């Protein structure tokens, strides 16, 4: 899930420093290699991710710090493995409550409960840079997942966290936030994104 740098208060408190998953600032000396974020309409973003299995331990250990580093530097508050080209059911989230790191690693997350009450919130996405729209989702969500130690966890969330968790789990199923919009709005956003990306490529080529 992305953050509009022009108005961070809609998503999270403004960051005075970029924070690593260990709680220390990430600076130019950060040794964690960041990952390339795929941009829609990359087909990888539309593929359903497979569950993380026992044989994926080494891959997950390598991916998690790199995903956090990539997310914090973007900046964003959530990132799913398919967004960095890995089709695993893995996501990282950090809303930075009180401007302090609170990283959450979600392995094989599943939604086990949603409220009937709905809430509308403006969303963005690191895979659709610069694009934002109001999205209506259940106001509260209950998520079951495994943490990095393999322990099963459950989290009940509302507000921004509920929206962020649903947004990231959508990514694991090949769903983008624009899929919750009307065809007209979705097509407008995708055309605008394509135009902006072409312009960036043209600018780089000059």
Peptide bond into 127 cis (omega under 30): no
Catalytic member of 110, 117, 154, 168 = 168
* 168 assigned to active site: yes
Torsion, CA 122, CA 187, CA 76, CA 93, rounded to 10: 80
**Cβ atoms of residues 190 and 182 within 8 Å:** no
* Beta carbons within 8 Å of 205's beta carbon, 6+ residues apart: none
Q: Return the residue matching tokens 């649903």.
A: 166
Task: Give CA–CA dist 115/137, Å, rounded.
Answer: 9
**Cβ atoms of residues 158 and 83 within 8 Å:** no
| Catalytic (active-site) positions | 168
């Amino acid at each position: 899930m992305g953050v509009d740098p022009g108005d961070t208060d809609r998503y999270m408190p403004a960051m005075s420093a970029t924070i690593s998953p260990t709680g220390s600032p990430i600076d130019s000396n950060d040794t964690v290699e960041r990952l390339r974020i795929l941009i829609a309409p990359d087909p990888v973003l539309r593929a359903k991710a497979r569950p993380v299995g026992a044989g994926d331990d080494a891959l997950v250990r390598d991916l998690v710090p790199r995903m956090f580093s990539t997310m914090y530097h973007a900046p964003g508050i959530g990132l799913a493995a398919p967004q960095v080209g890995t089709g695993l059911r893995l996501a990282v989230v950090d809303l930075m409550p009180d401007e302090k790191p609170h990283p959450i690693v979600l392995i094989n997350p599943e939604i086990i409960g949603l409220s009937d009450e709905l809430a509308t919130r403006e969303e963005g996405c690191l895979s659709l840079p610069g694009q934002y729209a109001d999205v209506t989702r259940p106001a509260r969500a209950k998520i079951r997942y495994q943490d990095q130690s393999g322990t099963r966890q459950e989290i009940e969330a509302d507000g921004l966290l509920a929206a962020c968790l649903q947004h990231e789990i959508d990514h694991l199923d090949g769903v983008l936030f624009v899929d919750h919009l009307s065809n007209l709005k979705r097509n407008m956003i995708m055309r605008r994104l394509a135009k902006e990306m072409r312009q960036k490529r043209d600018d780089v080529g000059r």
